[in-house]
Amino acid sequence: MEKNVKDLFEHYENLFRTALRDQVDMDEVVSSYATAFVAASPAGVSVGRNDEHLKQMMQQGF
């Protein structure tokens, strides 16, 4: 399990560094998300789906 956790954070680190270079691969980013997921912010909690809409919304954030 420790290797899985280490691999997860290495993958996240690589995605983050790539984003800082403005070379975002949205397919790679959304592959980190489950089919459905929960998002929380000061505005509240929501459920999202891993679909084209997610890619579009995330692309706006980059």
Residues 2-52 have pLDDT tens digits of: 999 999 999 999 989 998 898 888 888 888 889 999 989 999 999 999 999
Label residue 1 by pLDDT band (50, 70, 90).
confident
- Distance (Å, rounded) from C-alpha 20 to C-alpha 6? 21
Q: Is the pLDDT of residue 61 over 80?
A: no
Q: Is the pLDDT of residue 62 over 70?
A: no
**Domain extents in the chain:** 2-61
Which of helix, strand or coil describes residue 48?
A: strand
